[in-house]
Amino acid sequence: MRFLLTNPKRLKRYGSWAMVTGATDGIERAFAHELAKHDLNLILVSINPSKLASVSDDFRQEFP
């Protein structure tokens, strides 16, 4: 992850969107958070709809 985040140009090389699977827990949630901090739009994917809604709400509040 550090390799990607050390150079912001790399993050947006393919556009301003990123898809993160398993985004409701652990490393994947932390990775999604870092991407959001670098102004990427996120598509979050999870098999647990209630956790996904919670994480989505948290991110929307922190990154309006």
Instruction: Determine the Cα–Cα distance for residues 33 and 40; give it in Å rounded to an integer.
Output: 10
Q: pLDDT tens digits, residue range 8-50?
A: 677 777 889 999 999 999 999 999 999 999 899 999 999 999 9
Return the pLDDT at 1: 55
User: How many Å apart are CA 58 and CA 51, to the nearest integer?
Assistant: 11
The alpha-helical segments, DSSP class H, found in the chain are 2-5, 8-11, 26-37, 49-62
Is residue 5 very low, low, confident or very high in pLDDT (cuts 50, 70, 90)?
A: low
Q: How high is the pLDDT of residue 15? A: 87
Q: Which residue has the tokens 């699977």?
A: 21
CB atoms within 10 A of CB 63: 14
- Which amino acid does the sequence have at 17? W
Confidence (pTM): 0.82
